[in-house]
């Protein structure tokens, strides 16, 4: 796993770096949190109180710190904020003092509204706090409630952060992406930019018509300027246009015959494409991963599926007595052995794990 990036571990923000250093020292002492660490956590929470508290004028009553983190993650101008450090500090103080409001605020910072913790990348952040601990603290069981209301403060104990296995610079990377939902593709590309920095050398959007059609400036609003927004058209984009002419307004379904034909045509066209070949192909719909599988093998690219849709989305199941569904399932199982499949939602992740084994 690559080392955490400044967005997550707050490198360069001195006061938060000191706090993280104290946590690391407590780690060496057996994860009992020292009074010095709690004092620093209390000071930081007090100093940043206005950024931590929910703001009813923002969507979902988000805290200003959450908005600044979102802007930073999407390549916009921002005021540096240490979201995960703040969540950790609130969790420590809430556990030590039995303050459930602080625990709920820590969970809120990571996007707990509407049950989706969509800002939580704790396991990769270098902060020694897990999402499991955060959720358990914010929504305690009856036994936990009794412990939180004991007269004596509890001693919070942390889990060690997952150690970084690779700390060098990433090699230059060219990414081709295939999807019909622009924001899903942008999530992957922006995170690759954050991890790889300027090493994300180029990318192509092979499906140029992507939902939503009312987001007129998809390039300007979703893609960081350092990534750029590909508008180049060639044989590859023409193949997608011919099979998915209304991909920005309709989830047109593909039969197994169409899937096989697209896979063969794309593999052949990919070998003739001008410009740098991809090191990674990102697809945000399972069936589009399958149509790109031959091309990925042809050019030696890593195939990464980042899914926000059910496994059979855009698969025509109307007239083949289950043959297309069975073939797609078989292809997905095989793909899960060869490529990297990720979901954008924890509930979708459980569904895929159950269905694919």
- CB under 8 Å to 51, separation ≥6 — which residues? 63, 64, 65, 68, 81, 86
Higher-confidence residue: 85 or 137?
85
Positive or negative: CA dihedral 158, 163, 167, 170: negative
Helices and strands, number each (H, E), in the chain: 16, 5
Beta bridge partners of residue 255, listed in sequence order: none
Higher-confidence residue: 296 or 325?
296
Range with lowest mean pLDDT among 70-74, 101-105, 230-234: 70-74
Higher-confidence residue: 321 or 48?
48
Listed by start position, the domains of the chain span 14-138, 173-356
Per-residue pLDDT tens over the stretch 76-107: 666 778 988 999 899 889 888 888 889 889 88
Look at residue 228 and give its three-state secondary structure.
Answer: coil
Residue 348 confidence (pLDDT) above 90: no
Range with lowest mean pLDDT among 5-9, 168-172, 290-294: 168-172
Q: pLDDT category, 164, cuts 50, 70, 90?
A: very low
Per-range mean pLDDT, top range of 37-51, 137-151, 212-226, 305-319: 37-51
Q: Burial of 108 by CB count in 10 Å (0-12 exposed, 13-18 middle, 19+ buried)?
A: buried
Per-range mean pLDDT, top range of 142-156, 180-194, 305-319: 305-319
Q: pLDDT category, 119, cuts 50, 70, 90?
A: low
d(Cα 20, Cα 13) in Å, to the nearest integer?
11
Q: pLDDT category, 322, cuts 50, 70, 90?
A: low
The end-to-end CA distance of the chain, in Å, is 24
What is the enclosing helix (H) or strand (E) of 119? none
Residue 258: its pLDDT value, please? Answer: 94
Q: pLDDT category, 194, cuts 50, 70, 90?
A: low
The C-alpha angle 345, 347, 348, rounded to 5 degrees, equals: 65
Average pLDDT over residues 63-78: 78
**Residue 78: φ, ψ to 5°:** -155, 165
Beta bridge partners of residue 318, listed in sequence order: none
- Tell me the C-alpha to C-alpha distance, in Å, between residue 228 and each of 231, 247, 291: 10, 21, 25
Kindly report the average pLDDT of the chain as a whole number.
78
Residue identified by tokens 């360069």 is: 12
Average pLDDT over residues 328-343: 83
Residue 240 confidence (pLDDT) above 90: yes
d(Cα 134, Cα 26) in Å, to the nearest integer?
19
Average pLDDT over residues 228-245: 90
**Could you tell me if 164 and 3 are in contact, meaning their C-beta atoms sit under 8 angstroms apart?**
yes
Look at residue 156 and give its three-state secondary structure.
Answer: coil
Residue 46: its pLDDT value, please? Answer: 94
Per-residue pLDDT tens over the stretch 23-48: 878 765 555 678 888 999 999 999 99
DSSP letter string, 11-78:
TT-HHHHHHHHHHHHHHHTTSBPPHHHHHHHHHHHHHTHHHHS--TTSGGG--HHHHHHHHHHTT---
Question: CA-based Rg of the chain, rounded to a whole angstrom?
Answer: 23
Range with lowest mean pLDDT among 66-80, 256-270, 291-305: 66-80
Average pLDDT over residues 286-308: 92
């Amino acid at each position: 796993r690559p080392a955490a990036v400044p967005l997550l571990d707050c490198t360069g923000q001195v006061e938060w770096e000191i706090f993280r250093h104290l946590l690391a020292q407590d780690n060496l002492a057996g994860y009992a949190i020292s009074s010095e660490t709690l004092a620093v956590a209390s000071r930081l929470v007090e100093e940043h109180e206005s950024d931590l508290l929910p703001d009813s004028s923002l969507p979902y009553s988000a805290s200003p710190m959450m908005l600044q983190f979102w802007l930073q993650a999407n390549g916009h101008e921002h005021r540096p904020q240490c979201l995960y450090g703040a969540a950790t500090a609130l969790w420590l103080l809430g556990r030590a003092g039995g303050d459930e409001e602080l625990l709920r605020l820590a969970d809120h910072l990571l996007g707990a509204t509407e049950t989706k913790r969509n800002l939580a990348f704790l396991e990769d952040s270098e902060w020694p706090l897990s999402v499991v601990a955060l959720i358990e603290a914010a929504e305690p069981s009856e036994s936990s409630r009794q412990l939180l209301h004991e007269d004596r403060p509890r001693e919070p104990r942390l889990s060690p952060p997952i150690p970084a296995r690779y700390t060098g610079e990433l090699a230059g990377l060219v990414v081709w992406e295939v999807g019909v939902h622009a924001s899903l593709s942008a999530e992957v590309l922006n995170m690759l930019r954050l991890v790889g920095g300027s090493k994300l050398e180029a990318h192509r959007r092979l499906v140029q018509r992507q939902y939503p059609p009312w987001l007129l400036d998809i390039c300007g609003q979703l893609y960081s300027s350092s990534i750029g927004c590909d508008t180049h058209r060639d044989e590859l984009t023409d193949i997608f246009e011919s099979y998915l002419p209304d991909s920005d307004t309709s989830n047109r379904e593909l039969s197994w015959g169409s899937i096989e034909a697209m896979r063969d045509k794309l593999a052949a066209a990919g070998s003739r494409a001008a410009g740098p070949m991809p090191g990674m192909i990102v697809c945000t719909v399972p069936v589009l991963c399958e149509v790109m599988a031959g091309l990925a093998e042809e050019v030696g690219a890593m195939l990464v599926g980042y899914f926000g849709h059910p496994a059979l989305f855009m698969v025509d199941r109307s007239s083949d007595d289950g043959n297309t569904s069975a073939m797609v399932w078989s292809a997905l199982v095989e793909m899960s052995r060869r490529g990297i499949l990720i979901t954008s939602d924890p509930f979708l992740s459980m569904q895929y794990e159950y269905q694919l084994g």
